[in-house]
Amino acid sequence: MNAPLARQWDSLRQSRGRRLERAASLGFGREIPVDRIIDLLEAVIQPGDRVCLEGNNQKQADFLAESLADCSPERINHLSMVQSVLALPSHVDLFERGLANRLDFSFSGPQGARLAKLVQEQRIEIGAIHTYLELFGRYFMDLTPNVALIAAQAADAAGNLYLGPNTEDTPAIVEATAFKGGIVIAQVNERLDKLPRVDVPADWVDFTVLAPKPNYIEPLFTRDPAQITEVQVLMAMMAIKGIYAEYGVTRLNHGIGFDTAAIELLLPTYAADLGLKGKICTHWALNPHPTLIPAIESGFVESVHCFGSEVGMDAYISARSDVFFTGADGSMRSNRAFSQTAGLYACDMFIGSTLQMDLAGNSSTATLGRITGFGGAPNMGSDPHGRRHASPAWLKAGREAYGANAIRGRKLVVQMVETFREHMAPVFVEELDAWKLQKSMGAELPPIMIYGDDVSHIVTEEGIANLLLCRSPEEREQAIRGVAGFTPVGRARDPRAVENLRDRGIIRRAEDLGIDPRQATRDLLAARSVKDLVRWSGGLYAPPSRFRNW
Amino acid sequence: MSLALAVRKSWFEATARARVAGLLDAGSFHEILPPAVSQPSPHLAQLELPGAFDDGVIAGSGRLAGKPIFAIAQEGQFMGGAVGEIHGAKIVGLLRRAAQEKPAAVLFLIDSGGVRLHEANAGLIAISEIMRAVLDARAAGVPVIALVGGSCGAFGGMGIVAKLCSAILISEEGRLALSGPEVIETVAGVEEFDSKDRALVWRVTGGKHRYLMGDCAMLVEDDIAAFRSGATEFLSGWGEPAPSIAHLRASQQALEKRLAAYATYRDGLQVWAALGVAEPENVPMLDRDSLVAVKEGLPT
Amino acid sequence: METLNFCFDSAPVLKGASPALCGVVGSGNLEILIKTGIEPAACRVCIKTSARGFGETWQAVLGSFAASHAAGGTVIAINDMGATPAVVTLRLAQALAEYQGGGQ
């Protein structure tokens, strides 16, 4: 019998050594001259590699993305890309130019239409569309990068990195790559003799390059209070009185829409009048929303951990270190992986918005001809069965869902929508576009953002539906129809069944909550303009130019 | 930080009706041609566009701190406050009546991008009639005070009308200019003027800049009560001067000097520095009182 | 633009004041003018709207308003720039309160 073939146990390390040797033979040290970045990428990236390109809601490794797209497809091809967000034109260029052919990702905002086209032309193979936590998890399982291209604020001569307030995804990416024989290349905005703090130690980083301009950052979480409508104020009042107060929600995450911005701005006024200060909204997993400033200044908020930062908020955050997580240097430390974990397991409530919802409560932001993905919403907008610690809100929801002898609690997952979007597009529909999208893309699953069985409440201008209390699919359907307003789905309700649900408190109208819709005016908002937010912050918040009218 | 912010009633946000109601003595306003008897624009109807019962402007009489005044208020949310035929006729009618009845003043709450293009020549004629009527009222000794602080500012023909008034009271949010930022960008390119750079737009057309330049008599907070007290204070110290050629010549000379001094500048920041403002970059973040102090400390 | 006319049965309005106006014809908004009519148990509505093809939705929104409020004896004129049913419902309630002399 033959002895088993001797297996080589350090092929990754050897491969890494060969890549570094190739770079050294071209004269590269750790600091790469900006005009030679393509030579470096072509030296260390091999055909068939799995490459992680950093970028998310805030910062983007935009220079490295463009440089990779400019590499020769003769030298680099069949790349398998893993990345949180497909946001920049260069991200799609990689596939159109033949450098990459496979993609595992989480979210694709503005490039959604180009991506859908590539899929239909079969020029891209999508592994899966993930949530952030799933994707980060797979970096440590079966999608570990060979090469990671990341973005940092600054590097020192040794190669240590300072990430600034937008730490975001960097720790997860670097950890997975650097400790599994991979190569880490960082674009930096500046080189400093002494970093404010070290976020990534030099021996986890192989190369740094000074980008020609600072990495692109999008002010994605800034909502101008001037655009909040009376209807949004009304829904926010109902949510505060009918959900936040009733369950005593202290630990939570908010989506990024105007609906939840309205809630944030009603905390110092309406919620304070209801005596809710200290009783709700004390601990948050949230990006630093400028619209949260009045609630923080009013003493509502004890702690906020952030996925990333927000343009113009840095000085304010530094000056409120009791509330935000900051380093010894004073600047914020964000971390998407940890904040998502907090959102999943440590929050009692997620509240957000959606574009479409069906009669089972499934919701989706997917529309035909665009592949957009999910980001973090499904992590936060789901009831985690792994949770074991109790809280009053979690227990109350659990008893409503499973009865008085419940052996577990329940997360509150609230969808807040006006029944019609702009151009009179109904939010409530018989069938989600997601199903047609699945067919046209040949995907294995319809792109549903939040599953109906995770949703606990729906808030519309017509009222609140408490799905926890529904005892059959038929009741759920009528509960949803009963708050679907004048959409075709809403008009097809069974009025008797809906009135019955209202008698049982499963559907509650504004008047049932003691709210007169005519009280819902913008005067209730603690800030009605971006300038008001600046005033609340004592001049510390510096909004981007596009949000100013002064 | 208190809830005082929540108590303020923003002029910028308010409708024309809310502005008039808060500006004048409570309950004193009497509207001429109110919505129930007014007519929407026949031009818009022909273009298959819904009109507004009052055609976007309110006109009538009332009292300010007891003094009889006339008031005109444009609704910026309806077609950008643009001047159409009926809209213009209501303004002109009230100004002519003012020349006859001689109230203590006409308060002109401007919130308009200028001519309503849908009504073409009728709108252009209306604007020119407004200009003449403003000057006639002033010649009759009735001050016409422009109040500018709405979302549409005072642009195009209404920018000219504002400058024909006896004086302008403006808030920081208010804007005053001839061509709108988008128009300049479309015609001359984004290199000439980036209309999406809102901070730049305000540095060049906004209330603080106009006040520092001496184009506006008073800078007030974006607050209906502040406009009310500002207008009251201004009127108590104002006598409408008789028209004079000497005054016109002096104005013309001042404008020529301004052109020579600032024509090459690209940004309000440069102008403020030249005016002698010590830290021009801080101007956008200064509150109203501090800015007024800066202006009063400038070399003359 | 589309012009729509409806007439609904409605309980007589409690107290009718002078004509009442609510709202502004701005994007996503509407203005509502309520005047006194001659049929005490009818609410007549005339709508001019920039959004065509929503007659059925208007009928449902206004029918629900006439059923849940005492709005008989009124004539309602509406100029609309694409307001959603949520906004229409809110403005109708505001305008009726104004008509009854209550405001808020």
| Residue C12, domain CATH | 3.30.230
pLDDT at A189 over 80: yes
- Render pLDDT for A346-357 as a digit per residue (tens, 0 to 9): 999 999 999 999
Among residues B63, B142, B141, the alpha carbon closest in space to that of B106 is found at B142
Q: Work out the average pLDDT over A153-169.
A: 96
Subunits with 3+ C-beta pairs closer than 8 A to B: A, C
Which chain B residues are Cβ-neighbours of A524 within 8 angstroms?
A: 6
B 52-111 residues inside an 8 A Cβ radius of C: 52-53, 56, 75, 77-78
- On whether any CB of chain C is under 8 Å from the CB of B27, the answer is no
Which chain B residues are Cβ-neighbours of C17 within 8 angstroms?
A: none
Q: Which residue of C has its CA nearest to B81?
A: C26
Task: Say how far apart CA A427 and CA A461 lie, in whole Å.
Answer: 12
pLDDT at A483 over 80: yes
DSSP A277-291: BTTB--EEE----GG
How many beta-carbon pairs under 8 angstroms link A with B?
Answer: 57
Q: Work out the average pLDDT over A248-267.
A: 97
Residue B79 token pair: 């077609």
Which chain A residues are Cβ-neighbours of B199 within 8 angstroms?
A: 545, 548, 550
Do A231 and C61 make contact, defined as CB atoms within 8 angstroms? no
Q: How far apart, in Å, are the Cα atoms of B200 and each of A38, A539, B112, B272?
A: 38, 19, 20, 13
Residue A147 near residue A186 (C-beta atoms within 8 A): no
- On whether any CB of chain C is under 8 Å from the CB of B48, the answer is yes
Count of alpha carbons within 13 angstroms of residue B201, beta-carbon side: 27
pLDDT at B6 (0 to 100): 52
Distance from the B118 Cα atom to the nearest Cα atom in chain A, whole angstroms: 23
- On whether any CB of chain A is under 8 Å from the CB of C55, the answer is no
pLDDT at C104 over 50: no
Count the Cβ atoms, other than its own, within 10 Å of residue A178.
Answer: 19
pLDDT at B7 (0 to 100): 63
Interface test with C, best of B20, B44, B53 (most C CBs within 10 A): B53
Do A526 and B12 make contact, defined as CB atoms within 8 angstroms? no
CATH number at residue B29: 3.90.226.10
In a domain, B29, yes or no: yes
Task: Say how far apart CA C61 and CA C80 lie, in whole Å.
Answer: 14
Q: Which residue of B has its CA nearest to A523?
A: B6
> Which residues does A contribute to its contact with C (CB < 8 Å)?
229-231, 234, 418-420, 422-424, 461-462, 485-486, 491, 517-520
- Render pLDDT for A31-40 as a digit per residue (tens, 0 to 9): 999 999 999 9
Q: Work out the average pLDDT over A488-496.
A: 97
Domain enclosing residue C8, as ranges: 2-99
In a domain, B21, yes or no: yes
Q: Work out the average pLDDT over B64-83.
A: 97
Interface test with C, best of B41, B44, B78, B151 (most C CBs within 10 A): B78
In a domain, B160, yes or no: yes
Do A535 and B5 make contact, defined as CB atoms within 8 angstroms? yes
- Render pLDDT for B37-63 as a digit per residue (tens, 0 to 9): 988 999 999 999 999 999 999 999 999
- Mean pLDDT estimate for chain B: 94
Which chain B residues are Cβ-neighbours of A525 within 8 angstroms?
A: 6
Interface test with B, best of C2, C24, C33 (most B CBs within 10 A): C24
pLDDT at A195 over 60: yes
- Render pLDDT for B229-244 as a digit per residue (tens, 0 to 9): 999 999 999 999 999 9
Do C19 and B34 make contact, defined as CB atoms within 8 angstroms? yes
| Displacement of CA C93 from its chain's centroid (Å) | 8
Residue A371 near residue A129 (C-beta atoms within 8 A): yes
Distance from the C78 Cα atom to the nearest Cα atom in chain A, whole angstroms: 18
Three-class secondary structure of residue A252 per DSSP? strand
pLDDT at B137 over 90: yes
Q: Work out the average pLDDT over C40-59.
A: 95
By Cβ distance, the residue of C61, C90, C93 closest to A486 is: C61
Q: How many domains does chain C have?
A: 1
Do B9 and A523 make contact, defined as CB atoms within 8 angstroms? yes
Residue A92 near residue A67 (C-beta atoms within 8 A): no
Spatial CB neighbours of A221, under 8 Å, sequence gap ≥ 6: A57, A256, A287, A288, A289, A290, A310
Q: Work out the average pLDDT over A198-218.
A: 95
Do C24 and B78 make contact, defined as CB atoms within 8 angstroms? yes
pLDDT at B290 (0 to 100): 95
pLDDT at B1 (0 to 100): 38
In a domain, B184, yes or no: no
Three-class secondary structure of residue B92 per DSSP? helix
Do A420 and C89 make contact, defined as CB atoms within 8 angstroms? no
In a domain, B132, yes or no: yes
Cα angle, residue C48 at apex, residues C44 and C51 outer, rounded to 5°: 125
pLDDT at C17 over 80: no
Q: Which residue of A has its CA nearest to C64?
A: A486
Residue type for position A351: I
In a domain, B237, yes or no: yes
pLDDT at C102 (0 to 100): 63
Do B198 and A269 make contact, defined as CB atoms within 8 angstroms? no
pLDDT at A437 over 90: no
Residue type for position B183: V
Which chain C residues are Cβ-neighbours of A258 within 8 angstroms?
A: none
> Which residues does B contribute to its contact with A (CB < 8 Å)?
1, 3, 5-6, 9-10, 12-13, 172-173, 196-200, 202, 206, 208, 222, 284-285
Q: What number is the ipTM of this complex?
A: 0.93
Q: Work out the average pLDDT over A195-205.
A: 97
- Mean pLDDT estimate for chain A: 95
Task: Say how far apart CA A396 and CA A505 lie, in whole Å.
Answer: 15
Residue B174 near residue B221 (C-beta atoms within 8 A): no
Confidence label for A110 from pLDDT (cuts 50, 70 and 90) = confident
pLDDT at B8 (0 to 100): 73
In a domain, B281, yes or no: no
Q: How many domains does chain B have?
A: 1
Which chain A residues are Cβ-neighbours of B173 within 8 angstroms?
A: 531, 549-550
From A6-10, A40-44, B88-92, the region with the lowest mean pLDDT: A6-10
Confidence label for B2 from pLDDT (cuts 50, 70 and 90) = very low
pLDDT at A66 over 90: yes
| Displacement of CA A402 from its chain's centroid (Å) | 30
Three-class secondary structure of residue A79 per DSSP? strand
Query: CA torsion B219→B221→B222→B226, rounded to 10°?
Result: -100
Residue A101 token pair: 């052919």
pLDDT at A546 over 90: no
By Cβ distance, the residue of C18, C29, C31 closest to B53 is: C31
Distance from the C41 Cα atom to the nearest Cα atom in chain A, whole angstroms: 24
pLDDT at C103 over 80: no
Three-class secondary structure of residue A308 per DSSP? coil
The secondary structure element, H or E, covering residue A398 is: helix A392-402
pLDDT at C16 over 50: yes
Residue B275 token pair: 């005016």
Q: Work out the average pLDDT over A132-158.
A: 97
Interface test with A, best of B198, B211, B223 (most A CBs within 10 A): B198
- Render pLDDT for B253-286 as a digit per residue (tens, 0 to 9): 999 999 999 999 999 999 999 999 999 999 998 9
Confidence label for B4 from pLDDT (cuts 50, 70 and 90) = very low
Q: Work out the average pLDDT over A62-69.
A: 98
Domain enclosing residue B87, as ranges: 9-176+216-241
A 76-135 residues inside an 8 A Cβ radius of B: none
pLDDT at A372 over 90: no
Residue type for position A212: P
In a domain, B211, yes or no: no
